[in-house]
Amino acid sequence: MNLHGRSSLDPRWTKHHSKVVSGFMLAEIRVFRKVPGGALTYDQQTSTYTTSNIEEVFSGPARIQPFGIIGDMVVGQDTTSRRLMRVQVEDLETGINIDDMIQVLSSPDAPELETFMLEVRGTISSSNPWVTDIVCEADTKRNA
C-alpha cells in the first residue's frame, strides 16, 4: 500500500463530523441589509425596525464566539467597548456582505448576545467545507 498516495484526512471524516459543527449552532440569527433610500428606526421595546428599506439576507442557526478586542480603536482611552465576534453559519452561500447587520434572535446559553447588534466586517470561507465564518464587530456599550 502506497502511503503517499492518499490524503492524511479520510474523505469520510468531513461528512461524519459536519454534524458536530451544526450541533454547536445554538443561537438563532437574522441578517439584514439596509437598502438605500430611507431612514431606519429601531424600537427597543418591540425589538423591531420600522422601514420598508430593509431586506432579510439570511435567517437560521449560528454559532457565536468572542474573537478579540479591537485594540487599535481608542475612544476616550477605552479599547474594550468594541469586540470582534466570530459567527459561523452552516450555509456556504449566504449572500452576506460586509456592512450587513446581524441580530441575535435567541441564544439560550448566552442571552446577553441578544442585546447587541453585530456589524459584519468580513465574510470568509472556513477551511471546514461545511461552514462560513463571519467576522463581526459588536459595540458592547450600545445595546440593540
pLDDT in tens, 52-85: 678 888 999 999 988 776 655 555 555 556 788 8
Q: pLDDT class for 24, splitting at 50, 70, 90? A: confident
pLDDT average, residue stretch 98-126: 87
Quickly name the fold that domain 3-139 has. Answer: Thrombin, subunit H (2.40.10)
Confidence check: pLDDT of 138 > 80: yes
Confidence check: pLDDT of 30 > 90: yes
How confident is the model at residue 139, as a pLDDT? 74
- Cell, residue 115: 442585546
Nearest to 139 by CA among 125, 124, 119: 119
pLDDT average, residue stretch 75-103: 78
Whether this prediction's pTM lies above 0.85 is answered by no
Average pLDDT of the chain, as a whole number = 77
Confidence check: pLDDT of 137 > 80: yes
Name the residue ranges covered by the structural domains of the chain.
3-139
Nearest to 130 by CA among 80, 91, 85: 91
140: burial class by Cβ within 10 Å (0-12, 13-18, 19+)?
Answer: middle
